[in-house]
Amino acid sequence: MCPPEHFAVTYAINPWMDPTVPVDTALAMTQWATLRDTYLQLGHRVDLLEPVPGLPDMVYAANGATVVGGRVFGARFRHPERAAEAAAHLAWFRSAGFPTIEAHLVNEGEGDLLVVGDVVLAGTGFRTDPAAHVEAAAALERPVISLELVDPRYYHLDTAIAVLDATTIAWLPEAFTPAAQQVLRDRYPDAIVASTDDAAVLGLNAVSDGRHVVLPAAATALAAQLVDRGFVPVPVDLSELLKGGGGPKCCTLEVRG
């Protein structure tokens, strides 16, 4: 995770961002700290990446890399405003002793590369280059399944799919092309289908440890669905960070050993 010390919305690279709407950085810090403390209370370890002045989106740490089996596949950002974040993430992993692989094509880390069991679901349409899916498969040594997004509000895959455990997802069908919808229905016939209202508060931008699902507090119907399926929803308020287009998952890069 990366503290939002420099969080601001000074440009717009997704539909959630409006530079004319004031941002309360202190409130963003408080909400982010609650998310961090939630992970700690659930028994997870949280490592911190030092925020860099001039990079207001670094709080969305999920976009910085994808880690599978202790191997780190770095990100390459679509927009120049975020480009320098990639090097900061790789530098942290290298200093921590992880083997790292630099990306040659645009991929936005766990924003578009979601690990579900032994496969990687890979988004494209707005940020990640579809050719980067082949690069990701080689780097992560996992099969990669390409999925095309069609709604700009759900510009990253992690805004339209929540990975709940090794075989279970929650998703919003309307965010995908018909072909991608069919792929997901065939592979995950028992998936939870989120409501458009819950998706619209980035309810699917959630983090699960296989039992506890940390999700935006406003996604109340999705929380009820999770309970019905045996999961334990853990709601958090990240309303200030939503102004940049992110939720719990965007703020969380999962380091898989």
Task: Out of 89, 156, 212, 251, pick the active-site residue.
Answer: 156
Type of residue found at 226: L
Radius of gyration of the chain (CA): 17
Nearest Cα neighbor of 50 from 10, 24, 77, 88 is 88
Q: Is 104 a catalytic residue?
A: no
Q: How many whole angstroms separate alpha carbon 171 and alpha carbon 181?
A: 10
Task: Out of 2, 89, 133, 250, pick the active-site residue.
Answer: 250
Report the phi/psi class of residue 71: left, alpha or beta, with left for phi > 0 and alpha for psi in -120 to 50. Answer: beta
Q: How many whole angstroms separate alpha carbon 247 and alpha carbon 219?
A: 11
User: Are 63 and 111 contacting, i.e. CB atoms less than 8 angstroms apart?
Assistant: yes
Token pair 């960070």: residue: 241
The first and second tokens of residue 3, run together, are 């503290």
User: Are 175 and 160 contacting, i.e. CB atoms less than 8 angstroms apart?
Assistant: yes
Q: How many whole angstroms separate alpha carbon 93 and alpha carbon 191?
A: 33
Phi, psi (deg, nearest 5) at residue 50: -70, 125
Q: How many whole angstroms separate alpha carbon 246 and alpha carbon 55?
A: 15
CA torsion through residues 96, 99, 102, 105, sign = negative
Q: Is 250 a catalytic residue?
A: yes
Catalytic positions are 156, 250
